[in-house]
Amino acid sequence: MLAVTTDNWFEQSKEEGHKEGHKEGRKEGHKEGEARLLIRLLEDKFGSLSAEAQAVIYRLSETSLLECLKRSLTAKTVQEVINESFQA
């Protein structure tokens, strides 16, 4: 009986871990997609981005990425889009 309970607990824990990992993976994938979208929009508008600018974009939080995407619509420079994320 104890073996069955332990097996059930193990299976339940494994399933919960799998679900949590899947959730985290989706969240990280979503953030990466937003970063790639921002980079593409900025490259279409301003030309090729430096590796440093791309690295800054990939380090932004999801909230900052969304703000940068909004700013990209009216910004006149790449710096105007990404530097604002660090001034608050």
HEC string for the chain: CHHHHHHHHHHHHHHHHHHHHHHHHHHHHHHHHHHHHHHHHHHHHHCCCCHHHHHHHHHCCHHHHHHHHHHCCCCCCHHHHHHHHHCC
Supply the pLDDT for residue 3: 60
Low-confidence ranges of the chain (pLDDT < 70): 1-4, 18, 22-23, 85-88
Supply the pLDDT for residue 33: 94
Q: First CA to last CA across the chain, in angstroms?
A: 58
Residues recorded for the chain: 88
Where are the chain's structural domains?
A: 2-86
pTM for the model stands at: 0.71
